[in-house]
Structure 1
Amino acid sequence: MVKIVFINPPRNKRKNDFIEEFKRVPLGICQLASSTRKAGIETSIIDAQNLYLTIDETIKRIKELNSDFVAISIISDFLQNSEILAERIRHFNPKIKIIVGGPHVSAVPESTMKDCEFFDIAVLGESDKHILEIINNKELSKIGGIIFRENNKLIKTKQENTRIKNLDTVPFPSFDLLEGFPDLYEPTPSMFKDAPSINLLTARGCLWNCSFCHQSVFGNELSYNSPKYMVPLMNFLKTKYKVKDICFYDDVFTIPRKRTEKFCEELIRKKVNMSWSCQTRIDTLDYKLARLMKKVGCWQISFGIESGSDKILEILNKKITRQQIIRQVKEIKKSGIRVRAFFIIGSPGETTETINETKTLIKKTKPDDILLDFFTPMRSVKLEKEAEKFGKIKSYTNKTFQVNFIPKDLTEKKLKKEFKRIQLGFYLQPRILLYYLGLLLNPRKAKYLAKGLLTYLMIAFK
């Protein structure tokens, strides 16, 4: 039987490092694994990233599996370790086919393949169909949307629309192939209500075109699971793995609206008693829908607000305004759902004045939590190509709390100073301090919160 192993590549840090990052379920490779298993292919997963395996330890496990194919999912921060891993695999077994995919590969496929001679095939975009065609020995030149090597040359095939229209046809993710599931996967403290808690993805693609956002894998075409799939999946996780809380990572959970309404109705009909949260756009729901979501367990919604300045919102192509944000946050908070707001500081066009507008917006809207980070010019997105007109690109590395871009009217020192002011101004509010102190009374949350606080202090204020 043909065998494949999916790899979430190793981190640079070890588990005993003082600062640990929080761990998400690698849903992409879990869903791909479910498709290969359905096709009768012997499938394994090595989540080296969340198991804190070294490259040596990862190689040892790959050798033990003796697979015919190795598929590595790559984001930019893990490219170097993925290249080292591929080279080591090639040295101990030249016959293994090494397939790479994921956000980094889809964004810059040619350079990814040129820079690492040990990658055999790069899969662009949604990979479910491509993986099966490659394993089944379909002629590579007839598989759309891949890059492969032939006679020491790179061949890129024409991109085809191979998107899965009905995601309900994809089996449940292969959670059972994840060592330590679900307890290994620790969410960010502000993103779960009870533990065990895991992240789920029930939609692919986004209908909007924010100029800073990466859509290299799923693009603007939207496909999604129906409530008839989503609710049984939640029940399965609750029954088999004792999962108590779900965080939906769909880009815009409340689109289409009818799906969200039917999902809530199905939760009521099936009497599923679980807490859950999601993320969406501020302009895609209202008080009525929020109240329905609250009724069936939704306790928090995260919104990508990004800035309090209409000027910056326009540069980011957010298609929302400051006044819309103020009005909508008020409506959502009235429903009883917590509002978690994402903000970016240091975007192209940012000035001291626009930063002050963001500070004012935070004070006016009173979100229940915020996530603030610096602008990162991601490769191959619209704003990355124009960023140098607005300032200086320092790095493309998407590391939390790292200045990667400096707008013309600001300095790195000024950005860091304003970052700390916003953070301290928000988290030292009595209502925020009281909320987090209250969470410490919950033994299940105490360790997550303690680790989160230490991580935050060490990174944000270094």
Structure 2
Amino acid sequence: MKLVLINPNIVTQKGDFLGSGIPYMPVSLASLAAYLREKRHSVAVIDAFGECPTKLRAEEGFIVQGLTYQEILERFPQDADAAIVYASSIMSFEILLNIIRHIRKQFAKPLIVAENSQSVTAFSLQNCYRQLMDTGADFLVMGDLELRTELLLKSIQNHDLGYKKIDGIIYKERHKSIVNQVRNFQKNLDILPFPAWDLFPLKNYWKLGYSHGPLSSKKYLPLLTSRGCAFSCGFCIAPGLNKGVWRAKSAKRVVDEIEHWGTEYGVEEFHVEDLNPTIDKRRTKDICNEILVRKLEIIWKLAAGSKIETVDEETIRLMAKAGCRYISFSPETGSKELLKKMGKPFNHNLALRLAAVMGSCGIKSQACFVLGFPGETKQDIELTKSYIKKLAKAGVDEIAVFICTPIPGSGCFGKITGYSKISELTFSPRWRKDYSTLESARRNLYAAFLLAKLVYHPLNLLKQPLNIITRNFQTKMEMTVYRVLKVKWLYLFRLRH
């Protein structure tokens, strides 16, 4: 079959340049493209962001980067047998709907929406299927995409009803939608081909000069070395979309991919985008040892997070030796009582010790927090503030503070109300009645961290302006300053012309 895969635009929430507008490369879509091509489908990609990332417009209260709807249609192959649109992020939900509407006007063949189940900024299709189907989608594919999508396409090609038996599929029947729950997961990830990055405009991503993880090289690529997460945090979509099932590529397969992209594109920096890459400590060590045995001169960063209890001092030192230069981890709060409400285990004292170890061996670190989880008290926020100061003293290089939002598929969905559109469910939810209070608390936490850094590690803080000027970003915070200035300049330039 002749297929066209579409990656939607990236959007920035006006007034929140820090928590939105991040150019996540669509690694799950690239993996799907590679798998479908391996199955002898003809695959074309329209990357609505990547093909023109410096083109900006205002829409739906957001700043939208990339192609216009008309430009997407102009690139759309009219002889395609099916279209697959990627549900990349919650903030792009209205853009996703509009892309579906525009395609539907001129394309009568099957239109499929593919879930992004491996990112905390995505959302559950099962919780939003009515809007998607009413807008014009024919099928929704949830969970692991590769085999499910191939089975669906076979059914479409054979003009039969076999798709009704596929788990993880939502389809229309007699003017209503039928939901087949996800029951199975792709356990053997080693059999999947490497992502089809040759179909994406990589040079445009590299020219941006910023990414999700802190970028310190001219070229980079994301890695998805595992899928799922074994934990059940109440604010996160991962438990709902992955059912607590964690599955991973072997150490050899991970390093094979690293070596492949080094040979193919000269890439020496890799950003690990797993939900939880270090669950298997033995695998983490095996990856490090495999990199060292092959003498690969690379930099790699755990950009999306890791569970601090799954590593120890020995593992961290080995990771540093193998080229790891950044680890993000998530305390979420300084309150043990609130952690219980969240359903998240976290060892505060261990994190302090390991943060110091990271700093001693050249690994930059980030600690992430959530404000506004249901049941949080002023005392909880004070405990978070106190813990943030301890982290700064221990050597943590940066923090990120998000305000809890009820993303479809998370445990919070339905528990926090007041929004009018799905795309409003950002990490700066201005529709929350307590938003001004939470935003004030967030600024207070950032100020407390920076002041503590100035007291305990003044040289590290003073180096950051130089890193920004030289674009040798060691932290996301440094890179965000550059990204915000660049996007604001491009947006103002657009307004003037």
- Structure 2 length normalisation: TM-score? 0.81
Provide structure 2 residue ranges, at least 5 long, that are not aligned to the other structure: 53-65, 117-122, 490-497
Q: 1:13-24 alignment to 2 at 5 Å?
A: 21-24=21-24
Instruction: Indicate the larger mover: 192-201 or 328-337.
Output: 328-337
Which position in structure 2 is the counterpart of 1:437? 465
Instruction: Give the superposition deviation at 1:222.
Output: 1.3
Q: Which amino acid aligns with 1:320?
A: F
Instruction: Give the superposition deviation at 1:245.
Output: 1.1
1:312 corresponds to 2:338 = yes
Counterpart pick for 1:171 among 177, 183, 193: 193
Task: Give, in whole Å, the separation in 1 of the partners of 2:332 and 2:197.
Answer: 33
Which position in structure 2 is the counterpart of 1:4? 3
Residue 125 of structure 2: SS of its match in structure 1?
helix
Task: Give, in whole Å, the separation in 2 of the partners of 1:184 and 1:291.
Answer: 32
Task: Give, in whole Å, the separation in 2 of the partners of 1:25 and 1:295.
Answer: 27
Residue 253 of structure 2: SS of its match in structure 1?
helix
* Contact 2:24-2:212 at 8 Å conserved across structures: no
* Contact 2:142-2:169 at 8 Å conserved across structures: yes
Counterpart pick for 1:414 among 409, 430, 437: 437
Residue 149 of structure 1: SS of its match in structure 2?
strand
Counterpart pick for 2:296 among 269, 272, 286: 272
Instruction: Give the superposition deviation at 1:456.
Output: 10
* Contact 1:212-1:382 at 8 Å conserved across structures: yes
Instruction: Give the superposition deviation at 1:10.
Output: 2.9
Task: Give, in whole Å, the separation in 1 of the partners of 2:39 and 2:84.
Answer: 16
Residues 12 and 438 of structure 1, relative CA distance in 2, 3 Å threshold? closer
1:124 corresponds to 2:151 = no
1:227 corresponds to 2:255 = no
Instruction: Give the superposition deviation at 1:13.
Output: 6.9
Task: Give, in whole Å, the separation in 2 of the partners of 1:158 and 1:360.
Answer: 43
Residues 61 and 454 of structure 1, relative CA distance in 2, 3 Å threshold? same
* Contact 1:102-1:217 at 8 Å conserved across structures: no
Counterpart pick for 2:97 among 59, 83, 103: 83
Instruction: Give the superposition deviation at 1:189.
Output: 7.5
1:61 corresponds to 2:79 = no
Residue 44 of structure 1: SS of its match in structure 2?
strand
Q: 1:190-269 alignment to 2 at 5 Å?
A: 191-215=214-238, 216-269=240-293
Residues 344 and 395 of structure 1, relative CA distance in 2, 3 Å threshold? farther
* Contact 1:346-1:405 at 8 Å conserved across structures: no
Instruction: Give the superposition deviation at 1:350.
Output: 2.3
Task: Give, in whole Å, the separation in 1 of the partners of 2:12 and 2:307.
Answer: 34
* Contact 1:71-1:101 at 8 Å conserved across structures: yes
Instruction: Give the superposition deviation at 1:130.
Output: 1.6
* Contact 1:189-1:449 at 8 Å conserved across structures: no
Instruction: Give the superposition deviation at 1:56.
Output: 1.2
Q: Which amino acid aligns with 2:315?
A: L
Task: Give, in whole Å, the separation in 2 of the partners of 1:334 and 1:9.
Answer: 41
Instruction: Give the superposition deviation at 1:340.
Output: 0.8
* Contact 1:22-1:186 at 8 Å conserved across structures: no
Which position in structure 1 is the counterpart of 2:483? 452
Residue 413 of structure 2: SS of its match in structure 1?
helix
Instruction: Give the superposition deviation at 1:219.
Output: 3.0
Which position in structure 2 is the counterpart of 1:102? 115
Residue 49 of structure 2: SS of its match in structure 1?
helix
CA deviation string 1:99-131 (max 9, x = no partner): 012143534154344542x11011121121121
Task: Give, in whole Å, the separation in 1 of the partners of 2:26 and 2:460.
Answer: 31
Instruction: Indicate the larger mover: 419-428 or 300-309.
Output: 419-428
Counterpart pick for 2:446 among 407, 423, 434: 423
Instruction: Give the superposition deviation at 1:451.
Output: 2.5
Instruction: Indicate the larger mover: 171-180 or 124-133.
Output: 124-133
Instruction: Give the superposition deviation at 1:303.
Output: 0.1
- Structure 1 length normalisation: TM-score? 0.87
Instruction: Indicate the larger mover: 181-190 or 436-445.
Output: 181-190
Task: Give, in whole Å, the separation in 2 of the partners of 1:224 and 1:218.
Answer: 13
User: RCO higher in 1 or 2 (8 Å CA, sep ≥ 6)?
Assistant: 2
Residues 365 and 159 of structure 1, relative CA distance in 2, 3 Å threshold? closer
1:401 corresponds to 2:436 = no
Instruction: Give the superposition deviation at 1:37.
Output: 0.4
Residues 267 and 417 of structure 1, relative CA distance in 2, 3 Å threshold? same
Residue 412 of structure 2: SS of its match in structure 1?
helix
1:93 corresponds to 2:107 = yes
Provide structure 1 residue ranges, at least 5 long, that are not aligned to the other structure: none
* Contact 2:471-2:479 at 8 Å conserved across structures: no
Residue 3 of structure 2: SS of its match in structure 1?
strand
Q: Which amino acid aligns with 2:95?
A: N
Q: Which amino acid aligns with 2:413?
A: E
Residues 88 and 395 of structure 1, relative CA distance in 2, 3 Å threshold? closer
Which position in structure 2 is the counterpart of 1:72? 85
Instruction: Indicate the larger mover: 285-294 or 21-30.
Output: 21-30
Task: Give, in whole Å, the separation in 2 of the partners of 1:328 and 1:314.
Answer: 22
Residue 309 of structure 2: SS of its match in structure 1?
coil
Residues 381 and 4 of structure 1, relative CA distance in 2, 3 Å threshold? same
Residues 160 and 380 of structure 1, relative CA distance in 2, 3 Å threshold? closer
* Contact 2:143-2:182 at 8 Å conserved across structures: no
Q: Which amino acid aligns with 2:352?
A: I
Instruction: Give the superposition deviation at 1:233.
Output: 1.2
Which position in structure 1 is the counterpart of 2:493? none
Residues 443 and 211 of structure 1, relative CA distance in 2, 3 Å threshold? closer
Instruction: Give the superposition deviation at 1:70.
Output: 0.6
Q: Which amino acid aligns with 2:266?
A: K
Task: Give, in whole Å, the separation in 2 of the partners of 1:127 and 1:159.
Answer: 11
Instruction: Indicate the larger mover: 70-79 or 419-428.
Output: 419-428
Which position in structure 1 is the counterpart of 2:33? 33
Q: Which amino acid aligns with 2:428?
A: F
Identity %: 25
Residue 447 of structure 2: SS of its match in structure 1?
helix
